[in-house]
A and B are shown apart, each in its own frame.
Chain A
């Protein structure tokens, strides 16, 4: 399947991020078009396109917008999720750096559709560059009349606030994000009510991912049938894939949903030094690992589920045979333990227990009983946690055991760093100066 640059098509323009460059390539024409269309029709178009959320869950975007009650006399809000903190996810920040106006145009169109006059871009606090770039771009857009009062004579008033977070993975979860944006601890809320009914300031709110909203202008401009020429019936369209790990040319590759990992890997020059892939994760650390057996699986929401994983953020991480599974899984669980917000017991206590046990295996001090106990503890967390972070933490271990049991058994006595030389896993020289 060929690559299909859309969002990324003009990133090689030295000033791709400026309003000038964006307009030179047809930017903001979709907005003019949308503002002449009835908002309900815009929602219908996005529904027909089949665009699905790129933040991890793949929820149909048009459907989400249609849940916002209309003529309810209350303010509506759009909150763009730019928290991008899932290990492995690294596509939203590049989009904001290279093509900020696609996001802004998408925001204005979305706000027209859901009848919102206030939008927020919540960007994780640990990355200043997209914060300053989005802020500058918002100012440019306002000066050009794409934001502010009565945009292009449509009657739409809209302000965008760029908001920096302060370090907390859980704030990527949409309801935690809303609490955080209200100036509170970022802890998930009970659902229902869903944000579309009672979100920011208890008003109807749409929360969408950066890539989701950045896709909207291209769909409006080029049409549903164009969009559906790419991808499959259930997973239509283009996708910004961020390929990382032991690959020859890691980077951003834009291609339709339905491309295989094997094809993407070919474009990325294969695994480094002609080695083989040992395991890979289609979209973040919260999805089950797959192996070389799945390199021909189409990367669609449905086919990846059939293969036993999830598409997640669509940012595959690949690891070659030099990598210790025990060490990789332990490190991810240390992340979940650190990021558990502490609101519910299964996740707070469970991540603590699992991680402690995994750390013993990593040091070569595991026990046979614990190999099975861990599966049980993960099952206890799965589905019993207040939010999906708990499920995510309970996900990685069992598939790794199913695929690499012998490695876990070796870890009863052998430390991971003995079984797998850390220097061999590295892609940089292991000593300062030597060959650097």
Chain B
């Protein structure tokens, strides 16, 4: 998809949110990446153009961050498996290995049909929900090998797949726009407060435990 005037307009809107437009560079790179599937020269030029930067300046930034793809476009769906210590040892390594075998690609690679990009990812701030997998960066918590394979098969068959704490997945490029800060209307799609997040509150209620009574202390 070529970058359009509309993309440029969106980038300018993002820049206008900040006291200094350059602050919008990361969000802008997400937007152009969602169009191009990667950060290519057209993407770099558009950002440079909108912000009045050199392409070298924009490239230096784009290459620093792991979410920007430099070499090849990402697949329709990004599949992440957390293989940091906690998730990895508790099951993430095995989940990754199973997906890698099933999709016949290694970390960072895209299947020949362009459907999936598989990646080992770092701690996803969900260790209480280990092992953690992501599809298009939405949480697929407490996954198993069987769950992960089922998810892949459903996506391959273009079935609707819903995150555990998040909405139905829409493809990696759509998420890139969300991360850029462009409203996708999905903030209330899912509650995203699950039993694991409520574990302590449940115990407290069971045992009748509360914080001190404010009336008393004040």
A352 within 8 A of B: no
Q: Which residues in chain A, 159-175, are within 8 Å of chain B measured between CB atoms?
A: 161-169
Find out whether the CB atom of A87 lies under 8 angstroms from the CB atom of B84.
Answer: yes
A413 within 8 A of B: no
B55 within 8 A of A: no
In Å, the complex CA distance between A281 and B195 comes to 24
Find out whether the CB atom of A132 lies under 8 angstroms from the CB atom of B211.
Answer: no
Given contacts A127-B124, A251-B198, contact A6 B211 (CB under 8 A): yes
- B155 CB contacts on chain A under 8 angstroms: none
Stretch binding the partner chain, chosen from B1-9, B108-116, B142-150: B142-150
Find out whether the CB atom of A433 lies under 8 angstroms from the CB atom of B165.
Answer: no
Given contacts A125-B26, A183-B24, contact A251 B199 (CB under 8 A): yes
- A221 CB contacts on chain B under 8 angstroms: 214
What's the minimum C-beta distance from A201 to chain B, rounded to whole angstroms? 6
What's the minimum C-beta distance from A29 to chain B, rounded to whole angstroms? 11
- B35 CB contacts on chain A under 8 angstroms: none
Find out whether the CB atom of A183 lies under 8 angstroms from the CB atom of B214.
Answer: no
Q: Mark B11-33, 1 if CB is under 8 A from A, else 0.
A: 00000011110111111011000
Partner of B217, one of A131, A222, A423: A222
Find out whether the CB atom of B89 lies under 8 angstroms from the CB atom of A422.
Answer: yes
A386 within 8 A of B: no
In Å, the complex CA distance between A427 and B111 comes to 29
Find out whether the CB atom of B125 lies under 8 angstroms from the CB atom of A164.
Answer: no
B157 within 8 A of A: no
- Of the listed residues B30, B85, B184, the one surrounded by the most CB atoms of chain A closer than 10 A to its CB is B85
Given contacts A9-B201, A222-B217, A244-B86, contact A168 B65 (CB under 8 A): yes
Q: Mark A227-240, 1 if CB is under 8 A from B, else 0.
A: 10110000000100
Partner of B25, one of A94, A183, A339: A183
Task: Please tell me the size bucket of the interface on A.
Answer: 35 or more
A335 within 8 A of B: yes
In Å, the complex CA distance between A17 and B130 comes to 24
- B139 CB contacts on chain A under 8 angstroms: 127, 129
In Å, the complex CA distance between A429 and B211 comes to 39
A198 within 8 A of B: no
B75 within 8 A of A: no
Partner of A136, one of B18, B165, B188, B199: B188
Q: Which residues in chain B, 58-95, are within 8 Å of chain A measured between CB atoms?
A: 60-61, 64-68, 80, 83-86, 88-91, 93-95
In Å, the complex CA distance between A246 and B86 comes to 9
Find out whether the CB atom of A226 lies under 8 angstroms from the CB atom of B128.
Answer: no
What's the minimum C-beta distance from A242 to chain B, rounded to whole angstroms? 5
A193 within 8 A of B: no
What's the minimum C-beta distance from B64 to chain A, rounded to whole angstroms? 4
Find out whether the CB atom of B130 lies under 8 angstroms from the CB atom of A250.
Answer: yes
- A15 CB contacts on chain B under 8 angstroms: 191
Q: Mark A1-37, 1 if CB is under 8 A from B, else 0.
A: 0111110110110111110000000000000000000
- B203 CB contacts on chain A under 8 angstroms: 3, 253, 267
Find out whether the CB atom of B199 lies under 8 angstroms from the CB atom of A253.
Answer: yes
What's the minimum C-beta distance from A225 to chain B, rounded to whole angstroms? 5
- A162 CB contacts on chain B under 8 angstroms: 181
Partner of B125, one of A84, A332, A428: A84
- Of the listed residues B91, B129, B193, the one surrounded by the most CB atoms of chain A closer than 10 A to its CB is B193
Partner of B23, one of A166, A183, A243, A254: A183
- B137 CB contacts on chain A under 8 angstroms: 126-128
What's the minimum C-beta distance from A329 to chain B, rounded to whole angstroms? 8
Find out whether the CB atom of B199 lies under 8 angstroms from the CB atom of A125.
Answer: no
Find out whether the CB atom of A12 lies under 8 angstroms from the CB atom of B201.
Answer: yes
Q: Which residues in chain A, 286-336, are within 8 Å of chain B measured between CB atoms?
A: 315, 317, 319, 323-324, 327-328, 331-332, 335
Find out whether the CB atom of B66 lies under 8 angstroms from the CB atom of A331.
Answer: no
In Å, the complex CA distance between A33 and B88 comes to 47
Given contacts A125-B179, A433-B146, contact A285 B85 (CB under 8 A): yes
In Å, the complex CA distance between A306 and B13 comes to 51
A44 within 8 A of B: no
What's the minimum C-beta distance from B97 to chain A, rounded to whole angstroms? 10
- B126 CB contacts on chain A under 8 angstroms: 90, 93
B56 within 8 A of A: no
Partner of A180, one of B26, B85, B212: B26
Find out whether the CB atom of A8 lies under 8 angstroms from the CB atom of B201.
Answer: yes
- Of the listed residues A8, A183, A285, A323, the one surrounded by the most CB atoms of chain B closer than 10 A to its CB is A183
B42 within 8 A of A: no
Given contacts A161-B17, A327-B89, contact A92 B125 (CB under 8 A): yes
What's the minimum C-beta distance from A156 to chain B, rounded to whole angstroms? 17
What's the minimum C-beta distance from B200 to chain A, rounded to whole angstroms? 3
In Å, the complex CA distance between A12 and B206 comes to 13
In Å, the complex CA distance between A75 and B20 comes to 13
- A422 CB contacts on chain B under 8 angstroms: 89, 93-94
Closest B residue, CB atoms, query A246:
B90
Closest B residue, CB atoms, query A317:
B86
What's the minimum C-beta distance from B170 to chain A, rounded to whole angstroms? 10
Partner of A88, one of B67, B123, B191, B202: B123
- A338 CB contacts on chain B under 8 angstroms: 122
What's the minimum C-beta distance from A86 to chain B, rounded to whole angstroms? 7
- B144 CB contacts on chain A under 8 angstroms: 428-429, 436
A71 within 8 A of B: no
Find out whether the CB atom of A183 lies under 8 angstroms from the CB atom of B127.
Answer: no
Find out whether the CB atom of A132 lies under 8 angstroms from the CB atom of B66.
Answer: no
- A166 CB contacts on chain B under 8 angstroms: 26, 29-30, 65-68, 179
- Can you sample 16 A-B contacts with CB below 8 Å? A5-B200, A5-B204, A11-B197, A90-B128, A90-B129, A98-B193, A125-B179, A127-B125, A128-B179, A136-B188, A166-B30, A185-B60, A201-B19, A226-B216, A319-B89, A339-B122
Q: 16 other contacts beyond A136-B183, A167-B66, with CB at 8 A cut-off?
A: A3-B209, A75-B19, A85-B122, A90-B129, A97-B193, A125-B30, A128-B179, A132-B183, A164-B26, A183-B22, A183-B24, A244-B128, A315-B127, A317-B127, A429-B144, A431-B145
